[in-house]
Structure 1
Amino acid sequence: MKKLILLLFGFMTVVTVWAEVPPLPSCTSCTDSVLNVFWEAPANYEKTEKDTLAFKFQYYTETAKEGIVSLGNPDMAWFEISNGTSKKQFWAGKGMALNKLENPYARYFIPVNFQKGENIIHLKARSLSNLPFQLNPIFMEGQDMEALKNKFQINSRSSDIVKWLSLLLTFVFLLLALVNFLAFKNHFFKFYILYILVVSILLLIWLDFNGQHNVLFPNSPRLYQIALVFAQQLGYCIYAAFFIHFLDLKNTDRLSFKMLRIYQGMALFMGLFNPLFSYFKEDYLFVLKYLSFLHLIPMFIIIFVLVRTLLVVKNKLKYYVLTATLLIVLFTFAELAFTMYRGGTFVRDYFGPSLAGFKGFNFLQIGLMLELIIFYFGLTHKTLDAERERAAYKAKVIEQLEENKKLEKEVKDLLEKQLEASQKDLVNQKFKREAETNLFKAQLKSIQLQMNPHYFFNSLNSINDFIYDKKPRQASEYLAKYATLMRSVLRNSESIEITLEKEIEHLKVYLDLEKMRFENSFDYEIKHTKDADFLKNKIPLMLIQPLLENAVWHGFKDINYPGKICISFEKNENGFTIKVDDNGVGLAAKRKPKKTSMGLKLLKEKLAVFNQLNEMNIDFELKNKFNEQGVLGVFDIKNKP
Structure 2
Amino acid sequence: MAFCSNILNAVGWPYWVFFLLSLIVICSVFYLRERRIRQASTKEISRQQQLIHLEMHAFQAQMDPHFIFNSLNAIHHYILTTSTDLASLYLTRFARLMRLLIRNCNKQWVNLEEDIEALELYLQLEQLRFGSQFDYKVDIAPEVFQQVTFIPPLIIQPYIQEAIWRRLLLRPAKSGGCLHIRISRQHEMLHIRIEDNGISQEPLSPESHLARGINIAAARLSAINERYNMSTGITQQELYNDLKQPSGHVVIIKMQQAATRESAM
TM-score, scaled to structure 1? 0.30
Is the Cα–Cα contact under 8 Å of residues 75 and 90 in structure 2 kept in the other structure?
no
- Find the aligned partners of 1:460 and 1:593 in 2 and give their Cα distance: 22
Q: Residue 633 of structure 1 aligns with which residue?
A: 251
| Aligned with residue 478 of structure 1, among 80, 83, 90 | 90
Aligned residue in 2 for 1:459: 67
The answer to whether the Cα contact below 8 Å between 2:111 and 2:146 also exists between their aligned partners in 1 is: no
In the TM superposition, what are the counterparts of 1:615-626 in structure 2 within 5 Å?
A: 615-626=229-240
Contact 1:463 1:475 survives alignment (8 Å): no
Partner of 2:185: 571
Of the three residues 73, 76, 101, the one matched with 1:489 is 101
Q: Say if 1:533 and 1:434 are closer, same or farther in 2 by CA, change over 3 A.
A: farther
Q: Over aligned residue pairs, what C-alpha RMSD do you find?
A: 3.0
Q: Is 2:62 the partner of 1:450?
A: no
Amino acid at match of 2:99: R
- SS in structure 1 at match of 2:195: strand
Of the candidates 103, 113, 130, which is equivalent to residue 501 of structure 1?
Answer: 113
2:144–2:184 CA contact under 8 A, matched in 1: no
Amino acid at match of 2:193: K
Contact 2:141 / 2:182 at 8 angstroms: preserved in 1?
Answer: no
| Structure of higher RCO (CA pairs closer than 8 Å, 6+ residues apart) | 2
Distance between the aligned counterparts of 1:522 and 1:637, measured in 2? 28
For residues 634 and 580 of structure 1, the distance between their equivalents in structure 2, rounded to whole angstroms, comes to 6
Give TM-score, length-normalised by structure 2.
0.68
SS where residue 97 of structure 2 aligns?
helix
Alignment partners' CA distance in 1, 2:78 and 2:139: 36
Matches within 5 A, 1:278-293: none
Task: Provide the residue aligned with 1:523 in structure 2.
Answer: 135
Alpha-carbon contact 1:459-1:482 (below 8 Å) kept: no
Query: Over alpha carbons, which structure has the higher Rg?
Result: 1
The residue that corresponds to 2:124 in the other structure is 512
2:221 is the alignment partner of 1:607:
yes
State the percentage of identical aligned residues: 22
Residue 504 of structure 1 deviates from its aligned partner by 1.7
1:438 positional shift? 3.7
- The correspondence of residues 199-598 of structure 1 with structure 2, limited to 5 A, is 435-456=42-63, 457-466=65-74, 469=77, 471-472=79-80, 473=84, 476-531=88-143, 533=145, 535-559=147-171, 560=173, 561-588=175-202, 591=204, 597-598=211-212
* 1:534 CA drift (Å): 6.4
Gaps of 5+ in 1: 1-428
Partner Cα separation in structure 1 for residue 257 and residue 97 of structure 2: 30
| Contact kept? 1:441, 1:496, Cα under 8 Å | no
The 1:532–1:606 alpha-carbon spacing in structure 2 relative to 1, beyond 3 Å, is: closer
**Residues 619/591 of structure 1: CA separation in 2 closer, same or farther (3 Å cut):** closer
Offset at 1:521?
A: 2.4
Deviation for aligned residue 1:516? 1.0
1-structure distance, mates of 2:42, 2:206 = 40
**Letter of the aligned partner of 1:575 in structure 2?**
M
| SS of residue matched to 2:231 | strand
What is the deviation of 1:464?
4.4
Superposed displacement of residue 453, structure 1: 2.6
Alpha-carbon shift at residue 435 of structure 1 (Å):
4.8
The one-letter code of the counterpart of 2:57 is Q
Q: Relative to 1, partners in 2 of residues 1:487 and 1:467: Cα closer, same or farther, differing over 3 Å?
A: closer
Deviation for aligned residue 1:469: 4.5
Contact kept, 8 Å, 1:579 with 1:633, in 2: the verdict is yes
Any conservation in 1 of the 2:193–2:252 contact (CA below 8 Å)? yes
Aligned residues: 211
Deviation at 1:461? Answer: 2.3
